[in-house]
Structure 1
């Protein structure tokens, strides 16, 4: 059974050892091309913070349906935040066997993006019965964003660009979407927590508890298990990074199966381009080994702003809400 590579990204956080930075960037480039997935260790998120977030996430999902529904996504408006129930989210048109909480960068009414009415930007919804959830999420989000910025430095160097290439342009003002997912036990034997899919954006940093289930599709069509590796993050390339790199970095399909028979928690951060940015291919050579996509789509044909592209994608996840709460930018 093939296992994903594990990469210590601490040199990219410190940026004080040129040789170590170069080796780390090369390893990231190879993993992004071969698998589109890898484990990131040395990411700077403490074990204590992981444990705190896990404990408070369990307490949130243990609330009654009525208490969670007080912050349902229907109350989130264009910010697209809040709780959804088991089976409420669709992947490729099929309900997932999970419930979750949609969160993101906390933006007040004075933020120009919120004032302009941009979808997927705004304030989070927090449960009044669980005040400890907000500080745990905000501390974890800040630490995981710092890890994402370090990874983006490595990605840039792996592509022969300056370390700050993305920070100066595409992710100067990134779109930050954070989720807490709860996969309960039970269901039918062939139920999937999440069906086969690829991520829409740039980079995903996934924290997961001790109960596995994530699998990634290898280039030969087989499935590779991605079991927990302590508190290592699972990093994967999204569709827009595949587009940016002309196929050099691979956006691999993945899914969540029922592996342990126990409930499972995960915490993905989607670190995406500026909402108003145009995701144009980089000046890098195109790959000669483009693989057929699982859904037949062509991410290399996408155009326009990243925000409008993203709205079209997330609207299919909650179609009943999309018409009321999402609109394209002018």
Structure 2
């Protein structure tokens, strides 16, 4: 199913194993760029293989996250997200409702990490513990760095596929990732085993499209993610071993005047009892342009009014929380 619904593109020519990406000519990447843009202009998702992030690093992130989420709630609450400070920290069960039409909050927990906010939270140590441990923090920093590098390369290839004059245009609009002025966030998600207390109509993750430019998603082997296809039918996005699932966000759809599609996706409550008793994990790297970047339609059509990246993100947050 995954092969026929969501395309698989080989990123071998520009993955992180290429130590000097600047030496790779645009024409060498044209086939890769066209494959990615074709996927993003239809279903809005693509599996990238040979992306260069080592599986061992992904495994460490999953295990570190599971160790944290397995702790008692009162322990996790010491690292809870404080909206008055920023987006960093733990978000508890049913706090978010990504589809506001659903009757109850989503059955998932999260831990958000935005490096530019880390120092601010650490200064609040008297009232807030920003990290459960130094090792947990270093694992997130290391994985964030890998995801940043891969995202910049995906954005370069996307610039080529969109026929932009400057191959580095999109990556230059994201050059503050990991620093003040860019809200790009690494989010570890945990879907705990479910009891019989699930409310009618409640889901693990409500139907939504992502907010920003692109998202890198690493899935465990459990599955459960569903993506709306071109016939407006939700279909499984089965995990593909060794692949990262990349999708377009609303801001990129707006930026490209709807040439690229921000597709809705969701995680329902499994029907099978065995699946209900299984936990599920994923890692999402939400890539946003620098705060001050003004999002204007790249084709010059003015289909959407210009808006700053940060103003659009704040608008979406206000709807979600």
Q: Normalization by structure 1: what TM-score?
A: 0.81
Counterparts of 1:63 and 1:186, CA distance in 2: 17
Structure 2, unpaired ranges of 5+: 121-127
- CA RMSD of superposed structures (Å): 2.3
Q: Is residue 63 from structure 1 mapped to residue 74 from structure 2 by the alignment? A: no
1:279 counterpart (267, 270, 295): 295
Q: Is residue 313 from structure 1 mapped to residue 320 from structure 2 by the alignment? A: no
Deviation track 1:216-275 (CA, whole Å, cap 9, x = no partner) reads 101211112111111311100011111111111111111112343311111101111111
Deviation track 1:80-136 (CA, whole Å, cap 9, x = no partner) reads 2111211011213241110111111245669xxxxxxxxxxxx99211xx3321111
Question: What is residue 123 of structure 2 aligned with on the other side?
Answer: none
Q: Is residue 30 from structure 1 mapped to residue 38 from structure 2 by the alignment? A: yes
Question: What is residue 131 of structure 2 aligned with on the other side?
Answer: 126
Give the drift of 1:186: 1.3
2:57 counterpart (24, 33, 49): 49
8 A contact 2:5–2:229 mirrored in 1: no
Question: What is residue 325 of structure 1 aligned with on the other side?
Answer: none
1:269 counterpart (285, 310, 321): 285
8 A contact 1:82–1:124 mirrored in 2: no
8 A contact 1:9–1:150 mirrored in 2: no
8 A contact 1:9–1:41 mirrored in 2: yes
Q: Is residue 82 from structure 1 mapped to residue 85 from structure 2 by the alignment? A: no
Counterparts of 1:213 and 1:302, CA distance in 2: 36
8 A contact 2:227–2:265 mirrored in 1: yes
Question: What is residue 324 of structure 1 aligned with on the other side?
Answer: none
8 A contact 2:188–2:282 mirrored in 1: yes
Counterparts of 2:77 and 2:161, CA distance in 1: 45
Give the drift of 1:167: 2.5
Give the drift of 1:148: 0.5
1:143 counterpart (143, 146, 152): 146
8 A contact 1:8–1:41 mirrored in 2: yes
8 A contact 1:205–1:234 mirrored in 2: yes
Counterparts of 1:211 and 1:190, CA distance in 2: 22
Q: Is residue 11 from structure 1 mapped to residue 13 from structure 2 by the alignment? A: yes
Counterparts of 1:247 and 1:84, CA distance in 2: 32
- The structure-2 alpha-carbon separation of the partners of 1:173 and 1:131, relative to structure 1 and needing over 3 Å to count, comes to closer
Counterparts of 2:138 and 2:118, CA distance in 1: 17
Structure 1, unpaired ranges of 5+: 111-122, 287-299, 319-330
Q: How does 1:187-202 map to 2 (within 5 A)?
A: 187=195, 188=198, 191-202=202-213
Counterparts of 1:22 and 1:237, CA distance in 2: 19
Counterparts of 2:210 and 2:91, CA distance in 1: 19
Matched position secondary structure for 1:204: strand
Question: What is residue 100 of structure 1 aligned with on the other side?
Answer: 110
Counterparts of 1:108 and 1:22, CA distance in 2: 38
Q: Is residue 209 from structure 1 mapped to residue 211 from structure 2 by the alignment? A: no
Aligned pairs, number: 289
1:73 counterpart (60, 64, 81): 81
8 A contact 2:50–2:242 mirrored in 1: no
- The structure-2 alpha-carbon separation of the partners of 1:280 and 1:124, relative to structure 1 and needing over 3 Å to count, comes to farther
Q: Normalization by structure 2: what TM-score?
A: 0.83
